[in-house]
Amino acid sequence: MGDSENRVLEVKDLSVRFDTHQGTVRAVDGVSFYIEEGETLGLVGESGSGKSVTNLALLGLIPNPPGVIDSGQVLFDGKDLLKLSIHEMRKIRGNRISMIFQDPMTSLNPLLTIEQQLAEVLEIHRGMSRREARPLCAKGLGEVGIPSPEKCLDSYPHELSGGMRQRVMIAMALLCDPKILLADEPTTALDVTIQAQILELMAKLQKDHGTAIMLVTHDMGVVAGQADRVNVMYAGRLAETASTKDLFDRPMHPYSKGLLESVPRLFGDASGELFSVPGQPPDLASLPAGCAFAPRCSYAVDACTNTRPELTVQIDANATSERLVACTEAARVLAADLAAEPADGGAS
């Protein structure tokens, strides 16, 4: 694990800002990470932490204006995607790297049938005619568990349920057998039962096709069930990178610890937030000089308000893979956890 040959995508020092009337919003600020072949990489963090902007940037979908990519490289297949022309990027998007969003209604065209939308993908990327594409589209819909693919092909998006529309989106995203699927809160808009079905489906398709998935979610339960590794994002930066097991066993960033300790609320509020860490997320248009989490952090020392911590390799004797944490107090967080571990191995 961790060998660079296994990496299908490598993001280096990505920064994205939005120039707005309220000021410059540093939505993504010097983020580096990689995705390994066939893995599920979780991306978690509160609403507004820059998860969607990170995903959009990878596919050249940042609206400009107001968005500007300030720095970075997105290395895929020997190329820097940030340097590609619009035309070259179109050949990758929906083909080698696909994306699904929270709300399929925003990405499906209400005026076109499902067949027209699925077939278009194969027309663009495979040069197929509509007639050639139809059986492949039907096959794709069958694979995502749509009961009557032929009937679905002739439907319009509004004739389908939310769960079925998300299945259509997944089918569309996988038509060209992409290396990477970027899934941005793919189940957030769905009720719990359907959410479980869609997650199970994604896991199965991933196994069958070897697709690497970046799964964006604010639901730690979803991460625990799906992800191999996790990036924790806070205020446009990565706070921690760890294997899912290490993160859940021994979070090393106080923010990750907060995410895991916050009790899930049974009835999410309007934003659908399932957990909350005490305090308010910072204003990305006026970030403090030091650590952006310091004002909410019970581990903070004086130095935290002056210097912004870099993501650095941490020593954890029990780690199952490399641990990176952007906190000078990470060792203290870990020590506190180990000390708190009860000898009876359990209940507290």
Interface contacts to ligand ADP, rule CB under 6 A: 18, 20, 25, 27, 45, 47-53, 63, 66-67, 284
Residue 184 CB, nearest distance to Mg ion (Å)? 6
- Nearer to ligand ADP (CB atom), residue 61 or residue 176: 61
- Nearer to Mg ion (CB atom), residue 186 or residue 309: 186
| Nearest C-alpha neighbor of 183 from the set 215, 227, 135, 231 | 215
- Nearer to ligand ADP (CB atom), residue 2 or residue 66: 66
CA distances in angstroms from 244 to 30, 118, 208, listed in the order given: 23, 34, 22
> Parallel, antiparallel, or unpaired for β 97-100 and 180-184?
parallel
The torsion angle over the Cα atoms of residues 252, 254, 256 and 257, rounded to 10 degrees, is 90
What is the rounded CA–CA span in Å between residue 81 and residue 95?
Answer: 14
What is the rounded CA–CA span in Å between residue 45 and residue 31?
Answer: 14
Per CB under 5 A, does 52 bind Mg ion?
yes
Select from 52-60, 62-70, 201-209, 332-340 the region that touches Mg ion (CB under 5 A). Answer: 52-60
What is the rounded CA–CA span in Å between residue 14 and residue 17?
Answer: 10
What is the rounded CA–CA span in Å between residue 300 and residue 81?
Answer: 38
- Nearer to ligand ADP (CB atom), residue 138 or residue 284: 284
Please provide the size of the chain in residues.
348
Residue 252 CB, nearest distance to Mg ion (Å)? 25
- Nearer to ligand ADP (CB atom), residue 47 or residue 129: 47
Per CB under 5 A, does 231 bind Mg ion?
no
* 15, 222 contact by CB (below 8 A): no
* 44, 231 contact by CB (below 8 A): yes
Residue 191 CB, nearest distance to ligand ADP (Å)? 21
Residue 204 CB, nearest distance to ligand ADP (Å)? 26
Q: What are phi and psi of 165, to 5 degrees?
A: -65, -40
Select from 48-56, 136-144, 146-154, 262-270 the region that touches Mg ion (CB under 5 A). Answer: 48-56
Q: 59 by DSSP, 3-state: which?
A: coil
Q: Which does 50 bind (CB under 5 to 8 A by kind): Mg ion, ligand ADP, none?
A: ligand ADP
Residue 46 CB, nearest distance to ligand ADP (Å)? 7
Per CB under 5 A, does 211 bind Mg ion?
no
Q: Which does 271 bind (CB under 5 to 8 A by kind): ligand ADP, Mg ion, none?
A: none
Q: Which does 20 bind (CB under 5 to 8 A by kind): ligand ADP, Mg ion, none?
A: ligand ADP
Residue whose tokens read 């990036």: 231
Residue 15 CB, nearest distance to ligand ADP (Å)? 12
Sign of CA dihedral 73, 75, 78, 81: negative
Q: Which does 244 bind (CB under 5 to 8 A by kind): ligand ADP, Mg ion, none?
A: none
Q: Is the peptide bond before 65 cis (omega within 30 degrees of 0)?
A: yes
* 235, 281 contact by CB (below 8 A): yes
- Nearer to ligand ADP (CB atom), residue 18 or residue 255: 18
- Nearer to Mg ion (CB atom), residue 45 or residue 149: 45
Residues at the contact surface with Mg ion, assessed by CB under 5 A = 51-52
